[in-house]
């Protein structure tokens, strides 16, 4: 038994070496394939079944030059170890194949495969009447021409209950019927006629047409992105350009020049998850509630209230601004908010800290007096920290004397 297994492995490796030559044939897209084969089926030792020759047939379809599907049936006529009874094992499987094609050697095609199948034993007292299995493995195809080639294959077969792990080595033929070839014809250059003491004629060259199905200027055999829309600019691989690198091709990108790393939507525009008008990659204050007025940082600021330096008074002219915030809070009765007071950098730090707390507390009390649940509000002062603008100009200091609202989720 061990000698037979070694011979099977040697024969399989010899087939791989034999296939290392070069030819002009290749795998054909949209072709029907028929693959008769024979080989050796190895049963795991705990099954007490002799390893024997197997034979079968595969019928498949090449979806394109890489992907294919195939239905395979095979049979093993064997006997129990040490020969007490004859057993026939029949296997039927459906699987997918992925071919690794090469422009330099289109006739030599390694592949991987995996799929599901079923088996049955006759008589059924051996290893159960029937069962299901998964299999995986690989192989190589070598085409003599566009119609026929050699094929070698090795598979690991595992039953669903994981009781048995079997191996199958096979060699055979593969026939292709129909399909289409995606290759570039060779360039033919005719010799340049020259006459003594006469002007040299212009060289005459004839180049066979190169197929470019989508008309993007990249030949089909080099095109990594087939069916590019007409007129779309492409790179050297035939793929639509994406100059800002956001994953959305330029011809679909509604927001070109998006900063590197910024998350975008299907239109190539920066995401704005809380819909506050500030893109997520710029938003310093996420999850702003609907209707809230934000600044350029995306933070909920009570717009229009800029306190007099050193003061925390709320005058009636500010009530309409505060009432806009009230409407948001009333629409979100379960929303908890931290009211944050800030100052500019002028004055003593301790004074600014107390002043920022007073500003936040007065705003909070206004909301409570107008019906907002006090349990949903808190006030906190931050003094001159976290400035929204520069403190070097009067305008910047005015922006820093502010109150922000931070949702607490």
Residue range 364-374, pLDDT digits in tens: 999 999 999 99
230/40 Cα distance (integer angstroms): 52
pLDDT for 12 equals 52
Strands 165-180 and 148-159: antiparallel
pLDDT for 20 equals 42
The mean per-residue pLDDT over the stretch 304-330 comes to 80
User: 232 is written with which tokens?
Assistant: 């779309």
pLDDT for 236 equals 82
3-state secondary structure of 152: strand
Band of residue 2 on the pLDDT scale cut at 50, 70, 90: very low
For 234, residues 6+ apart whose C-beta sits below 8 A from its C-beta are 216, 217, 218, 225, 228, 240, 241
Q: Is the dihedral of CA 295, 301, 307, 310 positive or negative?
A: negative
pLDDT for 230 equals 84
pLDDT for 103 equals 78
Mean pLDDT, the chain, rounded, equals 82
The mean per-residue pLDDT over the stretch 101-120 comes to 91
109/47 Cα distance (integer angstroms): 35
| pLDDT for 358 beyond 60 | yes
The mean per-residue pLDDT over the stretch 149-159 comes to 94
| pLDDT for 141 beyond 90 | yes
Q: Which residues of the chain does CATH 2.40.160.20 include? A: 2-180
Band of residue 316 on the pLDDT scale cut at 50, 70, 90: confident
The mean per-residue pLDDT over the stretch 357-384 comes to 94
pLDDT for 306 equals 61
Check whether domain 273-409 has CATH 3.30.1330.60, yes or no: yes
Give the residue from 185, 155, 188 showing the smallest Cα distance to 8: 155
Fold of the 2-180 domain: Porin (2.40.160)
Q: Where is average pLDDT lowest: 206-210, 240-244, 265-269, 342-346?
A: 206-210
361 sits in which H/E element: helix 349-369
User: 299 is written with which tokens?
Assistant: 């933070």
Q: Is the dihedral of CA 9, 10, 15, 19 positive or negative?
A: positive
Q: Are 225 and 203 in contact (CB under 8 A)?
A: no
Q: Which alpha helices (H) appear in 272-315, and where do they start and end?
A: none
Q: Which residues of the chain does CATH 3.30.1330.60 include? A: 273-409
The mean per-residue pLDDT over the stretch 323-330 comes to 90
Query: Residue 40 class from Cβ within 10 Å (0-12 exposed, 13-18 middle, 19+ buried)?
Result: buried
Give the residue from 401, 393, 381 showing the smallest Cα distance to 305: 401
Q: Are 290 and 327 in contact (CB under 8 A)?
A: no
Query: Strand pairing partners for 88?
Result: 77, 122
Q: Are 156 and 132 in contact (CB under 8 A)?
A: no
Which pTM was predicted? 0.41
pLDDT for 184 equals 46
């Amino acid at each position: 038994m061990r000698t037979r297994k070694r011979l099977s492995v040697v024969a399989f490796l010899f087939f791989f070496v034999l296939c290392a030559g070069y030819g002009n044939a290749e795998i054909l897209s949209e072709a029907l394939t028929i693959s008769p084969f024979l080989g050796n089926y190895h049963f795991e030792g705990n099954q007490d079944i002799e390893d024997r020759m197997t034979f079968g047939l595969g019928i498949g379809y090449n979806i394109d030059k890489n992907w294919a599907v195939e239905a395979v049936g095979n049979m093993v006529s064997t006997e129990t170890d040490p020969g007490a009874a004859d057993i026939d094992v029949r296997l039927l499987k459906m699987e997918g194949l992925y071919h690794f094609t090469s422009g330099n050697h289109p006739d030599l095609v390694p592949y991987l495969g995996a799929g599901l199948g079923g088996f049955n034993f006759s008589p059924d007292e051996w290893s159960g009447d029937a069962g299901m299995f998964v299999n995986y493995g690989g192989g190589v195809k070598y085409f003599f021409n566009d119609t026929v080639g050699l094929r070698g294959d090795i598979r690991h077969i595992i039953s669903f209950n994981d009781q048995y792990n079997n191996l199958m080595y096979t060699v055979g033929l593969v026939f292709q019927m129909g399909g289409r070839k995606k290759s570039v014809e060779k360039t033919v250059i005719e010799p340049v006629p020259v006459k003594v003491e006469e002007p040299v004629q212009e060289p005459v060259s004839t180049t066979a047409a190169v197929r470019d199905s989508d008309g993007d200027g990249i030949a089909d055999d080099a095109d990594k992105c087939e069916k590019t829309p007409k007129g779309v600019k492409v790179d050297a691989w035939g793929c639509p350009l994406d100059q800002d690198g956001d994953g959305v091709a330029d011809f679909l990108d509604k927001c070109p020049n998006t900063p590197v790393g910024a998350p975008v939507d299907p239109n190539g525009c920066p995401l704005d998850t809380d819909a506050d008008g500030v893109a997520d990659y710029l938003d310093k204050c996420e999850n702003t509630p609907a209707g809230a007025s934000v600044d350029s940082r995306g933070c909920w600021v009570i717009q229009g209230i800029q306190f007099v330096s050193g003061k925390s008074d709320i005058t009636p002219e500010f009530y309409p601004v505060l009432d806009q915030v009230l409407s948001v809070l009333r629409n979100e009765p379960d929303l908890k908010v931290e009211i944050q007071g800030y100052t500019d950098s002028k004055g003593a730090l301790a004074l600014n800290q107390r002043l920022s707390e007073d500003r936040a507390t007065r705003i909070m009390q206004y909301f409570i007096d107008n019906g907002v649940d006090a349990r949903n509000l808190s006030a906190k002062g931050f003094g001159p920290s976290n400035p929204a603008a520069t403190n070097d100009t009067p305008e910047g200091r005015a922006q820093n004397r502010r109150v922000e609202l931070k949702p607490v989720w």
